[in-house]
Each structure stands twice: as C-alpha cells, then as structure tokens.
C-alpha cells in the first residue's frame, strides 16, 4: 500500500471482530490494516458483479423484444403479402 495514496482513518471494532481480522491477517502474512483494505475492497467489488448480472438480464430482455417484433412483422407480412425489411437485416 503506497502511503502517499492513503488517508489515515480510525475505526472502532467489536473485540471479537478485531481478533478475527487480526488472526486472518496473520494467516495471510499481512498487516492488520492491509487485511481490512483487502476485506473492504473485496466487498466493494461485488457491486459490479450485480450490475453485470443486471446488464445481462437487460440484454436478454432486449433480445426477446427484438424476437417478438420480428414475429409481429412476419405475421403482418403474411397477412398482406408485402415484404417488410427485417430488424436484423
């Protein structure tokens, strides 16, 4: 961690949580502060995963809308015999 790019912060932790983080830091071979930074970073990275899933769902819904519109255009084409351009052409 580059100290020129950090801001000193003070927090109060429950004793049990402090001991659990300290134990995990020792197991990972890093400082208590670095362990907290890693834990916070990991928890914040989860947000983009949720956004990615939302985007995938939105994209899938858009594909379904496109397919539905294609079906509507195809059925209208069959009704009046004229040829309409496809949305995917």
Spell out the per-residue pLDDT of the chain, length 89, in tens.
565 688 998 989 999 999 999 999 999 999 999 999 999 888 777 656 677 788 788 788 777 777 888 888 888 776 655 555 555 55
Six token digits for residue 67: 């397919």
First to last CA, the chain: 53
Six token digits for residue 2: 């580059």
Q: Where are the domains of the chain?
A: 14-80
Give the CA-trace dihedral at 76, 77, 78, 83, to 10 degrees.
Answer: 170
Cα torsion angle, 35, 37, 40, 42, sign: negative
């Amino acid at each position: 961690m580059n100290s020129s790019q950090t801001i000193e912060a003070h927090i109060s932790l429950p004793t049990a949580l402090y001991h659990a983080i300290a134990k995990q830091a020792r197991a990972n071979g890093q400082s208590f502060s670095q362990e907290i930074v890693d834990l916070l970073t990991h928890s914040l990275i989860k947000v983009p995963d949720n956004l990615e899933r939302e985007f995938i769902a939105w994209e899938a819904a858009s594909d379904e809308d496109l397919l539905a519109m294609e079906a509507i255009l195809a059925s209208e084409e069959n009704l009046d015999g004229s040829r309409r351009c496809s949305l995917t052409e």
